[in-house]
Structures are given as C-alpha cells and as structure tokens.
Amino acid sequence: MTNLERTKAFLRSLETRDGSTLSFYAPDVVQREFPNQFTKAGATRDLEALRRSGEAGKKSVREQRYEIINAVEHGDEVALEAIWTAKLNVPVGTLAAGDVMKAHLGMFFTWRDGQIVSQRNYDCFDPF
C-alpha cells in the first residue's frame, strides 16, 4: 500500500468513524493546525490531544466528507488539497444544526513505517 493510499484510508476512517482513526497515527505524532476561524492561535496536538479533539468533533458534527481535489506523493510525504463538508449537530455562526459547513483544506502528511508522524492542516472555512 502506498502512502497516498494510506492517506485516503485515513480520511475514510474519519468519514465513517469506524474507530480506526487513531491507529493511523504513530505514538509520537505531532499534528499542527494553523490559525483559522475556530482555532485562532492555531494548535499543536499529540496523540492524546488528537483523541480528545476527535471526541469533541463527534459532538458538533453529524457526518463529514473529504473530497480530494489534488494529491501529490513523494516518498514519505503526501500533500492533499481537499474540500471538507460536514453536517452540523449544533448551530455555528449563521449555520443551524443540520446545515452543512464547508472548508477548503491543505493537508500535509509525513509517514513512517505505515503511520502518520506529522500532519499539518491549513483549513479555510467558507463564511458562516
């Protein structure tokens, strides 16, 4: 399996919430979310923080999808341009529960021995 295939499987695990998402991460993973409307100062997360963030996300998002627009794989590195859509469980800004939120994503992954060791997200949300 290529690292791009692994990345696609990782995104599917986020969509299906099948319980496998954390298994894609190495124990020493570092995920960086750059500043956006939700995380104004940005965030750096380890495996435990990713677990907590995923649980919190399940409370506010009913379902989500990742549409890959472009992907580049070079050795252990994978870069994706994607569109994320999510049906909300809770109101956010002008969006009501049940509405769909949309973001344009730049996602960059570093893989080692079949697991993600680094993930950097640049999330640009549509106005809400």
Output the pTM of the full model: 0.95
Mean pLDDT of 70-94: 97
The average pLDDT across 14-19 equals 94
Portion of the chain with pLDDT greater than 90, in percent: 96
Question: Residue 49 and residue 123: Cα distance in Å, rounded?
Answer: 18
Give domain limits for the chain.
3-19+26-125
CB atoms within 10 A of CB 7: 23
CATH architecture group of domain 3-19+26-125: Roll (3.10)
Q: In the structure, what pLDDT confidence band is assigned to residue 75 with cuts at 50, 70 and 90?
A: very high
Average pLDDT value for the chain: 97
Per-residue confidence (pLDDT) for residue 41, from 0 to 100:
97
pLDDT of residue 79: 98
Q: Tens digit of pLDDT for each residue in 28-48?
A: 999 999 999 999 999 999 999
- Alpha-carbon dihedral 118, 28, 45, 128, rounded to 10 degrees: 40
**Could you give the CA distance from residue 19 to residue 101 in angstroms, rounded to a whole number?**
23
Confidence category of residue 122, pLDDT binned at 50, 70, 90: very high
Backbone CA torsion sign across 11, 2, 111, 72: negative
